[in-house]
């Protein structure tokens, strides 16, 4: 009679690895072979089923340090009682199955590990609109945030006051049940307690067994000076309450700075445009310029051209993350007079005649038209 041990293939040969292969590589080889011969991928194929059993038997031995040492020294005889045939599957295959094939069944088989019912609450986001003044100077704002808070009557347990949750009778508190599928077993989430291991027979009337209730919280938020659009302020523990006594999530206040009628912001600098009259631009003068901290005087030199940029140092924004204060950049824009009287028009015509043809009065204009003239001459 043929010795059944002699008919078995070498376990290393079954997984396609050598005796000095690392544990992690043995596991990779097993995963590859098991996926190849899995019955779900080869329905009705008896040969694939036999190879699948053989692969699992080999992995059960080579993944266990003691069994592997006995196998390396004595061969199949060294692990016959712990590995052979169907008995080996009942001993530890469910753990192997859950580790390797959890992705196939949505993580339902976890090797007996129960999912904890205590979970952290969700983080929340609140969009806060600010004026430019408040963003630059800093402000304290009161906000109202709809969220989930722990139920007071049941203290977040979900059970009616005076009662408590009981161990699930279906899974015995494990949160998972074992389902037999052919020659191997699969662990799945308990349908009774939904993986929590406990059931509430008398739910709390306030939260209906959820342990949390909806509530609008009023919070005070301190906005530091210098914040800008896109900045976030984290309020630790002000998010949704956790389930079954778990820690609360965080609240993130998202800052959005509204458009300002006068100033534009670019990082730490502010920009604004100031209209200037023809006379002030030609003769020079003093302009009153607004800043976020009041009005200041700006001395405009004679013969100032439209679009000229003046820098007022230290009149910008203090960055929220530190650094020097920015500047206020003022652009003067020449304003053409409107609604002129007859006398004013005559004066302007006299001024035009008096300055016409004089290159020294309009150097940019004359330089431009000289360039235009040269351009057309070059074309011909």
Please report, for the chain, the start and end positions of each structural domain, with discontinuous segments joined by +.
4-101, 118-160+210-259, 264-334, 342-379
Tell me the range of 8-12, 181-185, 213-217 where mean pLDDT is highest. Answer: 213-217
pLDDT number for residue 357: 64
pLDDT tens across 17-43, in order?
888 888 888 888 888 888 888 877 777
Do the Cβ atoms of 147 and 240 come closer than 8 Å?
A: yes
pLDDT number for residue 143: 95
Domains 118-160+210-259 and 264-334 share a fold: yes
Mean pLDDT of 107-130: 70
pLDDT number for residue 174: 83
Percent of the chain beyond pLDDT 90?
A: 35
pLDDT band at 365 (very low <50, low <70, confident <90, very high): low
Q: How far apart are CA 185 and CA 95, in angstroms?
A: 10
Superfamily for the 264-334 domain: Urease metallochaperone UreE, N-terminal domain (2.60.260.20)
Quick one: which H or E segment has residue 142?
strand 139-150
Of the candidate ranges 191-205, 233-247, 261-275, 357-371, the one whose mean pLDDT is the lowest:
357-371
* The listed CATH number (3.30.70.1110, 1.10.287.130, 3.60.20.10, 1.10.287.110) that belongs to domain 4-101: 1.10.287.110
Superfamily for the 118-160+210-259 domain: Urease metallochaperone UreE, N-terminal domain (2.60.260.20)
Mean pLDDT of 287-308: 92
pLDDT band at 119 (very low <50, low <70, confident <90, very high): confident
pLDDT number for residue 60: 87
Predicted TM-score (pTM) of the model is 0.58
**How many residues make up the chain in this entry?**
380
Is residue 293 classed as helix, strand or coil in its secondary structure? coil
pLDDT number for residue 44: 78
Q: Which residues of 337-371 are buried (b: 16+ CB within 10 A; e: fewer)?
A: eeeeeeeeeeeeeeeeeeeeeeeeeeeeeeeeeee
pLDDT number for residue 146: 93
Sign (positive or negative) of CA dihedral 190, 195, 200, 203: negative
């Amino acid at each position: 009679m043929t010795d059944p041990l002699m008919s078995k293939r070498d376990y290393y040969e079954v997984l396609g690895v050598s005796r000095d292969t690392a544990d992690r590589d043995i596991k990779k080889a097993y995963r590859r072979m098991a996926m190849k011969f899995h019955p779900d991928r080869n329905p009705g194929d008896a040969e694939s089923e036999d190879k699948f059993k053989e692969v699992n038997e080999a992995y059960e031995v080579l993944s266990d340090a003691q069994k592997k040492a006995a196998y390396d020294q004595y061969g199949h005889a060294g692990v016959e009682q712990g590995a052979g045939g169907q008995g080996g599957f009942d001993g530890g295959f469910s753990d192997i199955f859950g580790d390797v094939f959890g992705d196939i069944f949505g993580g339902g088989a976890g090797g007996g590990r129960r999912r904890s019912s205590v979970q952290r609450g969700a983080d929340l986001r609140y969009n806060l609109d600010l004026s430019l003044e408040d963003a630059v100077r800093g402000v304290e704002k009161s906000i109202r945030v709809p969220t989930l808070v722990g139920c007071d009557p049941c203290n977040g347990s979900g059970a009616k006051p005076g009662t408590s949750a009981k161990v699930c009778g279906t899974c015995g508190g494990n949160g998972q049940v074992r389902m037999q599928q052919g020659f191997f077993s699969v662990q799945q989430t308990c349908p009774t307690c939904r993986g929590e291991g406990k059931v509430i027979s008398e739910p709390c009337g306030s939260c209906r067994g959820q342990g949390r209730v909806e509530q609008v919280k009023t919070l005070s938020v301190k906005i530091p000076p210098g914040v800008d659009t896109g900045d976030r302020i984290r309020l630790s523990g002000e998010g949704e309450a956790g389930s079954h006594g778990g820690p609360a999530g965080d609240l993130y206040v998202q800052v959005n700075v509204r458009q300002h009628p006068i100033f534009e912001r670019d990082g730490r600098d502010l920009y604004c445009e100031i209209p200037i009259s023809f006379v002030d631009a030609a003769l020079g003068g003093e302009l009153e310029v607004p800043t976020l901290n009041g009005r200041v005087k700006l001395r405009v030199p004679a013969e100032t051209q439209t679009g000229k940029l003046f820098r007022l140092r230290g009149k910008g924004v203090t960055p929220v993350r530190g650094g020097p204060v920015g500047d206020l950049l003022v652009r003067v824009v020449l304003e053409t007079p409107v609604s002129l009287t007859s006398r004013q028009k005559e004066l302007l015509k006299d001024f035009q005649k008096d300055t016409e043809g004089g290159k020294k009065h309009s150097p940019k204009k004359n330089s431009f038209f000289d360039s235009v003239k040269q351009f057309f001459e070059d074309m011909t």
